[in-house]
Amino acid sequence: MPPAGAEGVYNIKNGVVILKVGLILYSVRDHMAEDPLKTVEAVARMGYKNIEVCNHNAIHDPGCGFGVDAKELKEIFDHYGTKVISAHIFPFEKSDIQAVLNYNSVLGNNNIVNPMGRFSTYDDLMRQCEFFNHMGKICAQAGMTYLYHNHNHEFRTINGKYILDYIIENTDPNYLSLELDTFWVMRAGLNPVEQIKRLGRRIRLVHQKDFAWDSLVPINLNGLDPDALKLKPGEVVGLDGNSDYAARGGMTAQEEKRQKWAATTAFTEIGTGIMPIQDIINAANTYTDAQYIILEQDATRMPTQMDSIEKSMEGFRKFDGISWDA
């Protein structure tokens, strides 16, 4: 039985709570860079009805990151019966938050995600928790929810405790929820199902991809030695608005291939790897208030990113406890 108050509450079909499948447009960022409106049309026609926009150029663009007018984008979504369910905004701390909220209000979106943080010391972490509460309050006043998206480095430790646990304990649940990326939980050497159970109703959205069985890099990036998990004096993990990545408005896929080819082999399409995806779906439906499970395909070995998300759609359809409805 789930813990008291941990039952999902949003998506009920025939008495069963189910997640809705979504897609973050980061998965097709090459296509978005070429023609964002055509790309949005293509993913909608493919059958992805719940879209998470992804703006890694928030220093210069408060919208979807590709200079697209919000009303024009909304018209396309409406035409295909598709809706925007969330938005990644990076670097969040350097964005024009009011412009971001205005843009997403036009889209009808009420989930605003900070996709990555940069952490160094305990004091720095506490300052960031204050920032998360501040931003979350601003979002809440606008009728929106502020979320944090994890990678593996939030499971490094300071004084014996995970960075993510400090974030949870020092932020108001009314002002900060989690978008749990199960792949990066596993890359931290942890069981994503157990972390879903542990984090429970702080989870509002779930990110999903799969880990390739023939990856050239190990599953566990953090290591098993507790000393290896400790954040060392002077060590910094993650990215923020002062990074080269932020200054360039996001790294292109071509640069990623040149710099991190071995790392990209870790990623594969849904249902073709080793992640316990059905167990993840079951746990999210049982223990969290998550509304959506969102495909985020960071990299692919397929010819195009469109081929990749179509393959993942085929994989998702093999699992129970999910819906494709908008």
pLDDT tens, residue by residue, 132-147: 999 999 999 999 999 9
Separation CA 235–CA 120 (nearest Å): 6
What pLDDT score does 11 carry?
46
Which residue stretches of the chain have pLDDT < 70? 1-17, 239-263
What pLDDT score does 242 carry?
62
- Note whether residue 144 is domain-resident: yes
Integer-rounded Cα radius of gyration of the chain: 18
Domain of 297, CATH number, reads 3.20.20.150
Separation CA 213–CA 221 (nearest Å): 16
- Note whether residue 4 is domain-resident: no
Torsion sign, CA atoms 180, 183, 189, 191 = positive
What pLDDT score does 284 carry?
98
In 3D space, the residue among 290, 294, 285, 287 whose CA is nearest the CA of residue 316 turns out to be 294
Number of domains in the chain: 1
- Note whether residue 137 is domain-resident: yes
What pLDDT score does 221 carry?
86
Which residue range forms the structural domain that includes residue 128?
A: 12-323
What pLDDT score does 217 carry?
83
- Note whether residue 7 is domain-resident: no
Separation CA 83–CA 71 (nearest Å): 13
What pLDDT score does 297 carry?
95
What pLDDT score does 10 carry?
43
- Note whether residue 6 is domain-resident: no
User: Do the Cβ atoms of 288 and 195 come closer than 8 Å?
Assistant: no
- Note whether residue 33 is domain-resident: yes
- Note whether residue 124 is domain-resident: yes
What pLDDT score does 230 carry?
86
- Note whether residue 156 is domain-resident: yes
Burial code of 85-111, b = ≥16 C-beta within 10 A, e = fewer? Answer: bbbbbbbbbebebeebbebbeebebbb
